[in-house]
Amino acid sequence: MRNIVILIFFVLSSLFANEAVDKLMKDKACVGCDLSGADLSGIKAQGFVLDNANLSLATLNKGDFSGASFAKTNVSDAEAIGINLEGAVIYTSNWSGTNLKNARFVGADAKGMSLENANLENADMSSGRLWAVNFQGANLKNTIMIDAQLGQANMTGVDLRQTNLEGAIFWETKLHGAKLLKKDCEAAKKDGAIMDGSTQCL
């Protein structure tokens, strides 16, 4: 009996997800929709509106969401390798635990976004508005943050030694326990970053 109930749950969940995907493609918007677990790999969704939607555990690999809106959207624990979020509005959205390797965030408005424990290896976040973004536990290996606005971002404990931070703004950026190259440490200090004895300048 229990197995039947579980099967029915997954069948209904799949049906609802398919309906939400159909609505998204038809209306180019799906505000508040449940797209959790949906496969949107390679989707062309430039300018689509997904505010307040649930895309947790979704597959978004190589999807083009340039100029799209993800305000207050839950995209936690998703697979989003190579996703294009150039110029997207993704403020106060939750992408914690998501695989964003090779993602493109150029010029994105991500104020208040959560990227806790996310994989941002080789991602390009150049010129991104990353104010108050939570990067704790994130992998920023070879991430490009040229001219990124990192004011009040939380980078506590993050290893930034292989991150390109040229021209980045660190106003009140939390860098407790973070590891930075000496040149980036100097720039952060000038910008008024929050640092202490646990911050490592290497």
pLDDT tens per residue, range 54-70: 999 999 999 999 999 99
Short-list 106, 89, 94, CA closest to 143 = 106
What residue segments make up the domains of the chain, in order of their start? 1-149
8 Å CB contact between 178 and 156: yes
Q: What is the pLDDT confidence band of residue 21, given thresholds at 50, 70 and 90?
A: confident
As a whole number of angstroms, the distance between CA 12 and CA 187 comes to 53
Residue 144 has pLDDT above 60, yes or no: yes
pLDDT tens per residue, range 193-202: 999 999 999 9
Question: Facing residues of 149 across strands?
Answer: 129, 169
Short-list 111, 76, 106, CA closest to 90 = 111
Kindly report the CATH number that applies to the domain delimited by 1-149: 2.160.20.80
Tell me the average pLDDT of the chain.
91
